[in-house]
Amino acid sequence: MLNKNTPKYQNVYSQIRDFISTNKWPLGETIPSEYELVDYFNVSRITVRSALNLLANDGLIVRKRGKGTLVTSNFPQASNCFESLTQKIIHNGDTPSSSILEFKKIINNNNTNHFENNQQLYFLKRLRKVNNKPYLISNAYISYKHAFGLNKNYFSEHGSNQSIIYILTNKFNIGFKKNSQFICAKTLSKCDSSALQKDAGLPCLSQECLLYNHTNELILVDQNITFNIISFNLLNSK
């Protein structure tokens, strides 16, 4: 129901945003055309375009020539967040997918030097794919106390390519303030070689992203093993 006390384009924007946030229009899917939206909301095309521009500015949709308008995020992108790998792949016009290789609760014992020793963490290992081809191995370490109750079902609920950032933001109400990224060269381990369909011992990249909340507590360390340089569009808070 459109609210008569607010501009029409804002009403359309709010309703489409609700469709996206509730997964009525899921991540990666094409939304109805401008003409279909005009008929659905009974508004002018200019009104629809104004609403779509707001959604694009929020990072919720992207327009692709020949493909239509795609949903690229389930939540607005604030200036202190970064674009997840899932969103970036979709922005590039490709199709993301992934499979969970391992998920467990661990006690940090130098698995990552960024969290405190003996801190309780969740460990999530995934094979990320682009257009069904292996792209990288993701080793994510997540603060247990901030994401208490996290389990595999959170990722399978909307597909195993669901963004960790989306889950932590929308399911656990975690607001992020800053992040940082580190890149170094290494050799591909035997355990990761088969998943990536590459020979063990080949030179590869280890890209590590750290994400903090508004009280500067470390929430997530995502270590990616890949042969591709990943730009996460880091937007650090000042």
> What 3-state class would DSSP assign to 158?
coil
Please check whether residue 68 is in contact with residue 31, taking contact to mean a CB–CB distance below 8 angstroms. yes
Say what the pLDDT of residue 20 is. Answer: 86
| 166 or 167, which is more confident | 167
Q: Looking at the predicted structure, is the pLDDT value of residue 6 above 50?
A: yes
Summarised one tens digit per residue, pLDDT across range 84-94 is 677 677 667 77
Sorted by where each starts, the structural domains of the chain and their CATH numbers stand as 8-71 (1.10.10.10), 85-226 (3.40.1410.10)
Which residues touch 57 (CB under 8 Å, ≥6 apart)? none
Q: Are 203 and 225 in contact (CB under 8 A)?
A: no
Confirm if 207 and 224 have CB atoms less than 8 A apart.
yes
Long-range pairs, 110-117, Cβ under 8 A, ≥24: 111/141, 112/141, 112/221, 112/223, 114/141, 114/210, 114/218, 114/221, 115/141, 115/143, 115/218, 115/221
Q: How far apart are CA 37 and CA 28, in angstroms?
A: 18
Average pLDDT for residues 190-195, to the nearest whole number?
A: 92
CA separation for the pair 235, 233 (Å, rounded) = 6
pLDDT in tens, 217-233: 999 999 999 887 554 44
Residue tagged 């008569």 (tokens): 4
pLDDT band at 43 (very low <50, low <70, confident <90, very high): very high
Report pLDDT digits (tens) over 99-146. Answer: 899 999 999 987 666 899 899 999 999 999 888 899 999 999 999 999
Single-letter amino acid, residue 167: I
Higher pLDDT, 123 or 167: 123
For tokens 């279909």, name the residue: 36
Percent of the chain exceeding pLDDT 70 equals 82
Q: What is the pLDDT of residue 236?
A: 34
What are the structure tokens assigned to 160, written together?
Answer: 């195993």
The pLDDT value given to residue 121? 95
Secondary structure E strands in the chain: 61-64, 68-71, 96-107, 120-130, 133-143, 176-187, 203-213, 218-226
Across the chain, what does the average pLDDT equal? Answer: 81
